[in-house]
Structure 1
Amino acid sequence: MDALTLLLNRHSQPRLTEPAPSGSCLENIMQAALRVPDHAGLKPWRFVVCEGMGRHRLGSLFEQSAVANDKSAKEVERAAQLPMRAPMVIVAIARYTEHAKVPWVEQVASASCAVMAMQMAAFAQGFQGIWRTGDYAHCDTVKTGLGLQPQDEIVGYLYLGTAVTEAPAKPPVDAGMYFANWRSVFED
């Protein structure tokens, strides 16, 4: 699949099963993350690849978070099962480093680009996935459990695996709705 076809047909796939990427496919995914824009070469990202028992440990952190945040018994039970929705979950972290020319927002943006690059690399190799956030990406219990500093951010959980079903085609979007008004501001 060529790059333009890949980008123009990107979609999220929430229904995932085995197999997950492994070997050279997983290495390609990791290398794609490391090639994203990175002002001043700070490498402001860290990744935790959760498979097997790692998904259970992540689920345990989600469960602890649900308890700490007074969620209902049903939500606590569900929290532990969330990472089981795919055979692999990659936790993407923006690891902030103070720098005069690279503000926090740029470092978070770089880490976010890394998630997109990993998802595209997975798709290019025949895998599918979905980038999720939610309460557990913004919870101090989870951040502490992952050893993060207060200024670090979880930019998402990239769930990867093999599609259970074919995703429906996305309808085309009129680019003029998002570009024309701004473009005209600078035209004569």
Structure 2
Amino acid sequence: MNVLEFLHTRQSNPHLQGNAPDEDVINSILKAGMRVPDHAGLTPWRFTVVKDEGLSKLSKAFKSAITSDNGDEAKIDKASKMPFRAPLIIVVSTKFHQHVKVPKQEQLIAAGCAAHAVQMAATSLGFGAMWRTGEMSYHPLVKERLGIELHEEIVGFVYIGDKSKELPLKNSRNLDDYVHYF
């Protein structure tokens, strides 16, 4: 399959299991994230690799975040299980820089491109991958526990693992509904 065919047929898969990939594979995935468009070469993103015991630490952070918000037991329980949906999570966050020509918004988009590249790299290697956000992406306690400064953004949690089931290919969207020429 060539790159264009891959991009035309790729889709997220939340059904993940198995062990985290080894360090060489993780580094290969992260290298893809480092090759995204980056105005002025600021590299306004960071990766936090979460696996093994890190999943338990992230679970505790999620649980603490919901508890601090006075969430009910069901919501606390659900949040505490979220990190175990995959054997590897790559948290993509921003690292904003002051720059006269590169506004914060462009830097956020570049970090989003890095998350996308990480997901595409994992998928191209045969793994299932799912880019997730949600309220834990914005919670200050989660940022603090992950070592992310409060003024930075968590762009997403990219869950990666072996696919526990294959999904049928979704229909492509009709271009006519989303494109106009000027």
- Counting only pairs closer than 5 Å after superposition, residues 21-40 of structure 1 correspond to structure 2 as 21-40=21-40
Instruction: Show CA shifts across 1:65-119 (max 9, x none).
Output: 0011111111112211110010001111011111111111111111110111011
Partner of 1:114: 114
Partner of 1:147: 147
Separation (CA, whole Å) in 2 of partners of 1:127 and 1:105: 30
Residue 92 of structure 2 is aligned to residue 55 of structure 1: no
Amino acid at match of 2:126: G
| Equivalent residues of 1:48, 1:92 under 8 A apart | yes
For residue 65 of structure 1, what is the aligned residue in structure 2?
65
Identity, % of aligned positions: 38
State whether structure 2 residue 100 is matched by structure 1 residue 100. yes
Question: Greater shift after overlay, 112-121 or 141-150?
Answer: 141-150
Secondary structure, aligned partner of 1:144: helix
What are the ranges of 5 or more consecutive residues in structure 1 without an aligned counterpart? none
Q: Deviations over 1:11-37 (max 9, x none)?
A: 111110113322432221010000001
Q: Could you tell me which residue of structure 2 aligns to residue 125 of structure 1?
A: 125
How far has the Cα of 1:172 moved from its partner?
Answer: 2.1
Match runs of 1:173-184 below 5 Å: 173-180=173-180, 183=181
Q: Distance in 2 between matches of 1:26 and 1:142?
A: 23
1:164 corresponding residue in structure 2: 164
Query: Letter of the aligned partner of 1:115 in structure 2?
Result: A
Question: Matches of 1:23 and 1:2 in 2, distance apart?
Answer: 26
How far apart are the structure 1 equivalents of 2:16 and 2:148? 28
Q: Could you say which residue in structure 1 is the equivalent of 2:85?
A: 85
Structure 2, unaligned stretches of length 5 or more? Answer: none
Letter in 2 for 1:20: A
Deviation per CA, 1:36-72: give whole Å up to 9, x if none: 0111111111111111100110111111100111111
Q: What is the TM-score with the length of structure 2 in the denominator?
A: 0.96
TM-score, normalised via structure 1 length: 0.93
RMSD, matched Cα: 1.1
- Partner residue, 1:13: 13
Of the two, which has the highest radius of gyration? 1
Q: CA deviation at 1:158?
A: 0.3
The Cα of 1:145 is off from its aligned counterpart by 1.7
Partner of 1:45: 45
Q: How many residues align?
A: 182
